[in-house]
Amino acid sequence: MSPVYEINVAKSKFRDAYNEGDLDGLLAVFADECTDMSAGAPSFFGADSKSVLRSRMTRLFEEFSATLIVTVIAIRVFANTAFDYGWHSLTLTPRDGGKPITTRQRYFETWQRNSKEEWKIDFYIDNVDVAPMMPGADLPIPLAFCPPDTQTQRDQKLARAM
Amino acid sequence: MVVEISCEEVWREISKYLDGEISDEMRARMEEHFKGCKHCTAVLDGTRNVVQLVGDARAFELPAGFSNRLYLKLNRRLGKDR
């Protein structure tokens, strides 16, 4: 089995674990020490990441049923290290019967092959996808470099500092 | 479990997919990918159109003497570049 296929299999397990609300299955795809830079959440590093991920996903699966569609754009392998990037389209349906929410993130993650020859995610980062647009319709500066939530956070920091 | 496949792999296999020359497993992976990937669906539709267009002799009915003129023109151009 080629490393690219093995990573595709691991990514499929990640997707299936999400869709089945299988917390242990989901965590099994991650390395014991990893870096999590998910959009809208604080960054976590090392062993903390997995326990934070466990608690965050426990709440998520308790409150919502999830449908994750993964679109992998490319996978690159360099010996025991690899990365892939693509999109995650996640629909969360509240278990109490509320309206479903869908978000589409663009992600990048790195993989490490451990001593058991298993590929595990050891770095994850994503941000909110933006619909395609013509080059002439580029976002105005500074919006493209400093999205509103970042601006708000910076303004709050500035206000506190003043 | 249908195993994920990347866009890059889909592009490599798309011609074989259209010709029906891939395994059942690969077909299932690609079809699952097309469901969620507008980009690859567009590539698939485009490739299918090109294959149909090329396979349709009527679309390429050329005027008499075209081949000869094209051959001479290419020869002249190649001669200039050398």
Mean pLDDT within A14-21: 97
pLDDT digits (tens, 9 = 90+) for A75-114: 999 999 999 999 999 999 999 999 999 999 999 999 999 9
From A89's Cα to the closest Cα of chain B, the distance in A is 9
Question: Is A75 an interface residue toward B (CB < 8 Å)?
Answer: yes
**Cβ atoms of B5 and B14 closer than 8 Å:** no
Q: What b/e string do you get for A79-115 counting C-beta neighbours within 10 Å, with b at 16 or more?
A: eeebbbbbbbebbbbeeeeeeeeeeebbbebbbbbee
CB contacts under 8 A, A 80-109 vs B, are 84, 86-87, 89
Please give the residue that has the higher pLDDT: either A21 or B52. Answer: A21
Contacts of A11 in chain B (CB under 8 A): 4
pLDDT digits (tens, 9 = 90+) for A48-64: 999 999 999 999 999 99
Token pair for A128: 């909110």
From B40's Cα to the closest Cα of chain A, the distance in A is 10
Contacts of B42 in chain A (CB under 8 A): none
Give, in degrees to the nearest 5, the angle at Cα B15 between B9 and B20: 105
**Cβ atoms of A119 and A6 closer than 8 Å:** yes
Give, in degrees to the nearest 5, the angle at Cα A57 between A19 and A122: 90
C-alpha–C-alpha distance, residues A62 and A145, integer Å: 36
From A72's Cα to the closest Cα of chain B, the distance in A is 5
pLDDT digits (tens, 9 = 90+) for B33-59: 999 999 999 999 999 999 888 887 777
pTM of the model: 0.81
